[in-house]
Structure formats: structure tokens, C-alpha cells
Chains A and B, each alone.
Chain A
Amino acid sequence: MARRISIAEEELVSLLKNKDQKGFNVLYNNYSGALFGVINKIVQSDDDANDLLQDTFLKIWRNIDNYDSSKGSIFTWMMNIARNLSIDKVRSADFRDSSQTISMEQNIIYQIDSEHQTMMDVDSIGLRKVVDNLKPEYRQLIELVYYQGYTQAEVSEEYGIPLGTVKTRIKAAVGSLRAMLSGLWLIVTILF
């Protein structure tokens, strides 16, 4: 599932390559929530998140011609742009110096606590319920590597887990997510 976009990906990419506002609006309406969620989790600051969302869209716009659909989906590509910009920001000197800096541990606790999801995208409520059922350790692992840009080696070192186990767990976590989402897809299909 997860193809929640209203137009085909190929169509979106060609719209973006045309560099017109329609393409931008489709892109923004479909992906800004997911990208903003990622950015917000990493930087934990409204002002920085707003700036980073802008930087992300500017970078997408500048680099759309470099996107190669054979190497992955448009979302994975955009997500990596958002994530890398946000991680760079968090690791930058001026961000570390600011009072808004939160340690990685605090960050994770914050992320796991779903009560903090104040600006919940309405489109994601159904999905959210499914994802909430993910085992905490799987969830934490996905948060670390997907959102925080931790390498497997860093996770292994930080949590004292053998590297091989980290890889296996990541695979299991993604597998668990896939299983749940296919179940959700079934329910949604039956209901509507």
C-alpha cells in the first residue's frame, strides 16, 4: 500500500520536471505532511522545521532532473533529502549551541511518546493506529536509523548490540511493519 498519492508517480515526476506550479502543489499537498513529520522529529523545533521544509522543497525543485526512478521511489528520494538536511542541521555547530538542543536519548523518548503528536496529519490517523502496534524495540530501531540517520554500527555501539543482530532486527522491524500495513490495507479495502 502506501501509494496514497492521487496521481501516478511518473506523472508527478514529469510535472516536477516541467517546473510548473501544478506540479509543486501536487507535490506539496501529497508529501509536505510526511516530510514535515520527519523533519520535526529530527530537529524538534518549529522554526527550524519550517525553514528545513522550505529548504527540502527547494532542493527537490533544483535536483528533480537528477532523480532516477530506477533507483527508488520519489518518496524515498525526497525523504532522504529532508532527512539529510535535518540531520546536518542538528549536527551543525549553531544548532548544538542553541538552547533547543535535546540529547539523542530525550529525542527517542519524545518520539516514542505518541501523545506529543500534536500536529497530527488527519490523513495518517488510520496508519498511525497500525504503526502504534509495532513492538517498541522495532519502533525505536526504525526511529534511530530512519529518522536519526544512525548507522548500524552506531546503533550497535550505542546500545551494545552485535552488528549482525542490529541488521536482523532492522529487517524484522521493517517486515513487521509490512505485515501490519498489508493487514490495514485489507481492512480499508473491505470497509470502503
Chain B
Amino acid sequence: MNIQEYIASGVLESYVLGLASEKEVAEVEQMAIKYPEIKAELRAIEDALESYAFANAQTPPAHLQSKIWEQIETEIGVEGKQTKVLDFDSGKEIDYDKQQAPKLTGFYGSYLRVAASVALLGSLLANIYFATQWKETKTNLSVAVNENIKLQKDLKSQEGVMQPSEVSLIMDPQIKMSKLVGQKGAENSTVMLAWDTKTNKVYVVRGNLPTPPAGMQYQLWAIVDDKPVDAGVFDIKNNTQELKKVPPAKAFAVTLEKQGGSPVPTSDIMVMGI
């Protein structure tokens, strides 16, 4: 029999479609064993019809897969045990195979693979972008920290510098400046005073004195009529402190007294001046 004629007769299509007679079926099966061309042709017809079936595929309800498997297990019985694994989401034991996602193949699978590749590339680019941003932010932060440290240093150094209000106080014509110098035992100490001739207020502008022991404070005395008059207590800090009003004094002196001051001086004079 001519193979091409046999192929052209349409009997192979009938065979695959289940339309062939018993006689034809036996004949086709014999021919397929004998001639590879016929086997290949049968396969091509099967593939075409399989594709047609896949083109018309419909997704069955999701619950059917497990339902059918349960049916198979109970009705037919399954040889061998299934590997059970613990499912992290449900906390239940599930069949190992069920946790495997179905493999995507063919046209849609290829599409998904491309989509996944694009998504991965996008993710990588985003990673690079955010890593760069993070590095930049880190740099900005360290710059800001350094600036903050510098500002704090500047602020500290500003403490020794006269503030504009202090400058205007000193420059005021009605203010009389007085420098008290260290006496015996405190030769390096100095205190700068400002006395307002109109209001009689006295200011300690700067005090360069040893840090007093705990519970002790420096006290300023105005020497009026050869007697010490309490002018108030002050702290060792580099800014101007307003003390009490005192009458015009011949001289000023500072002693170390208990916290809050004393009515009369009880220790040696640290600094003194006119």
C-alpha cells in the first residue's frame, strides 16, 4: 500500500478521533508499527487535537483536586505512604506534593517567566536606587552630626565671649567698672564688677575664681564707711550676674561663705579692688 495515499485517505484522523471501525483500527495500528512516517503522522494529528482541547480548556473548581485524590485513596487504595510536611501557614500536616505549585509551561509559562524576569530586573534596579539613597542619607546624617558637634563647641567657646548686652553694659557711661584682684593665697584670681552709679545695682561680669567646695558660695562685699555691706552671692560662671543694690563703696571684696551667704564675712578675702 502506498503510504502517502494511506495518509491522505483520512483514516488516521478517524483513528485518532475514535471514529474508525474495528477493522480500520487494527490496520492503522499495524501500519504504525511498520512505517515510522505513519506513526509520526498519527502523532502530529494527536498533537493538533490535543492543542485544540487545551485551547478549550476550562479550570475546574479548586476543591476538586483534593476531593478526587481522596476518592482515589479510599476507593482504590494507594501503595506507599505519602510524605507529610508541616504547613507553616495552617499549622496542619499536608501532603508534600500539595505544597508544590503546579508547573507552568507552554505559552503562558513562557510569558510568566518573562514577566518574572522583568520583575526581578525592576527589583534589582530598585535595590541599587535605594542602596544609593541610603548611602546618601547616611552621609547627610554624619555631616549633620558633625555640624551639631561643631555648633556645640562654638557655643562653649561663645561662653568666654561677651554678649552684646554685656558690651552695652560696659560701654554705658553711668556704669563704673572695677577689677578685683587676687589676695594672698589666691593670686591668680580676678573678678570684674560693674556698678551702676544711678541705680546702685552691682553686677559680677566675670569671675575667675577656684570652684568653691560643695555647700559654699562666693559672696561680694561692698566696703562702705570701712564696714563690709552684703552685696549678694554669685556663682562661678561666665556670664553677667546682677547682685544687690549697694551704696557708693570705697572698695569691693569677695569671700567664700556658706551657701546663700552670710550676714558678716567669716573667711579671708579672696579678691579685692577699688
Where the two chains meet, the residues of A that have a C-beta atom closer than 8 Å to any C-beta of B are 1-6, 18-22, 24-25, 28-30, 32-38, 40-41, 49-50, 53-54, 57-58, 61-62, 70-73, 75-76, 79-80, 83, 117, 119-128, 130-131, 142, 145-146, 149, 151-152, 167-168, 170-171, 174, 177-178, 181, 184, 188, 191-192
B97 contact from A2, A3, A21, Cβ within 8 A: A21
30 contacts between A and B (CB under 8 A): A19-B76, A19-B78, A19-B79, A20-B80, A22-B97, A24-B68, A25-B100, A29-B102, A29-B103, A34-B54, A35-B53, A36-B60, A37-B58, A53-B64, A75-B50, A79-B50, A117-B58, A120-B59, A123-B107, A125-B108, A131-B55, A131-B56, A146-B53, A167-B9, A167-B10, A170-B14, A174-B48, A174-B49, A177-B51, A188-B110
Chief secondary structure at chain B's binding surface: helix
Stretch with Cβ within 8 A of A (4 or more), from B16-24, B158-166, B244-252? B16-24
Asked if residues A178 and B50 are in contact (CB atoms below 8 Å), the reply is no
* B-side contacts of A123, CB under 8 Å: 54, 57, 104-109
The answer to whether A21 and B82 touch (CB under 8 A), given A33-B60, A54-B67, A124-B57, is: yes
Q: Which residues of A contact B60 (CB under 8 A)?
A: 32-33, 36, 49-50, 53
Q: In the complex, A121→B58 CA distance in Å?
A: 5
Contacts A32-B64, A76-B16, A79-B50 given; does A54 touch B10 at CB 8 Å = no
Docked-complex contact A192 and B56, CB < 8 angstroms: no
Give the one of B9, B51, B59, B72 with max A CB within 10 A: B51
Question: Cβ of A58: which chain B residues have Cβ within 8 Å of it?
Answer: 68, 71-72, 75-76
Closest Cβ of chain A to B72, distance in Å, is 5
Shortest distance from the beta carbon of B104 to any chain A beta carbon, whole Å: 7
Besides the known contacts A28-B65, A28-B68, 10 further A-B residue pairs in the complex with CB atoms under 8 A apart: A2-B47, A25-B97, A34-B53, A83-B18, A124-B54, A127-B107, A152-B19, A184-B107, A192-B110, A192-B114
